[in-house]
Amino acid sequence: MKVALVTGGSRGIGRACSVKLAEQGYYVLINYQSNEAEALNTLAMVREKGSDGEIIKFNVADCEATESAITAWQEAHKDEYIEVLVNNAGIRRDQIMVFMTNEDWRNVIDITVNGFLYVTRALLQPMVRKKFGRIVNMVSLSGLKGLPGQTNYSLAKGGIIAATKALAQEVAKKNVTVNAVAPGFIRTDMTKDLDEAELKKQIPANRFGEPEEVAAVVGFLCTKEAAYVTGQTISVNGGLYT
Ligand code: NAP
């Protein structure tokens, strides 16, 4: 059994990644924080692809909860290991800096940056021991370019881009790759409050992207054929200047 974990797999881009990995023959662990109904919908979509999986609830920003959920899974599946990890869980809490609250600053960093540590560290040793692993971090155009109103989010995503490069060098010899995917504007719950008609004028492709278009790149990065691609950040943004 080939096993993948997708954090924030209940909705949006994480759901599309779960379905893509199911198509590629993975048993998918669909992580979510609170929305069990949507996590179960993702699981049904995974099954429609002829694969299987399970939902796994934990808040990636909670170290203890994350480690205990992952350890419990590992203890119950001693013959398996999670060979693919998509660090996708994320939130936006936009505000210009003069009005930024400590809470919005910390929450974004806790989920994106600390969550990346807690989940990845828990899965890394088996990948290294088995000499195969694929880690994909969902970052953002905001982490490459910086976007006004998103100092918290740009910081967090930019930090993960740097951490992707660093970790890639730590584990490359063990055939574990670490890459990032940087979406531009993708049609999900996270962007439903944005004015697509206005924003699409800036996008050469003249539209928002679909979650499946991001998942296609994630899927490739998780294949054996992508073994020599590591430490990279691949943009999926319809040609938006970065
Ligand atoms: P979304 O539709 O809002 O979905 C967010 C997902 O993350 C949900 O599954 C949610 O779980 C989960 N989540 C949030 N906080 C969590 C936590 N603390 N622990 C575990 N799971 C958590 O977002 P999306 O647009 O698909 O975004 C997915 C990723 O892509 C994010 O990292 C985001 O920053 C990045 N991204 C998105 C865009 C875009 O345009 N949409 C662009 C660039 C980057 P529940 O369902 O349980 O709430």
CATH superfamily assigned to domain 3-236? NAD(P)-binding Rossmann-like Domain (3.40.50.720)
Percentage of the residues of the chain whose pLDDT score is greater than 70? 100
Q: What is the pLDDT of residues 188-207, one digit of tens each?
A: 999 999 999 999 999 999 99
What are 28's strand-pairing partners?
Answer: 4, 53
pLDDT, tens digit, for every residue of 3-18?
999 999 999 999 999 9
Pairing of strands 233-236, 176-183: parallel
**pLDDT score at 34:** 98
> What local confidence, expressed as pLDDT, does residue 242 receive?
65
Rounded to whole angstroms, the Cα distance separating 36 from 167 reads 32
Ligand 1 atom showing the smallest separation from residue 111 Cα: 18
Cβ–ligand 1 distance for 238 under 6 Å, the answer: no
Residue of 13, 34, 114, 137 with the most ligand 1 atoms within 8 Å of its CB, for mutation: 13
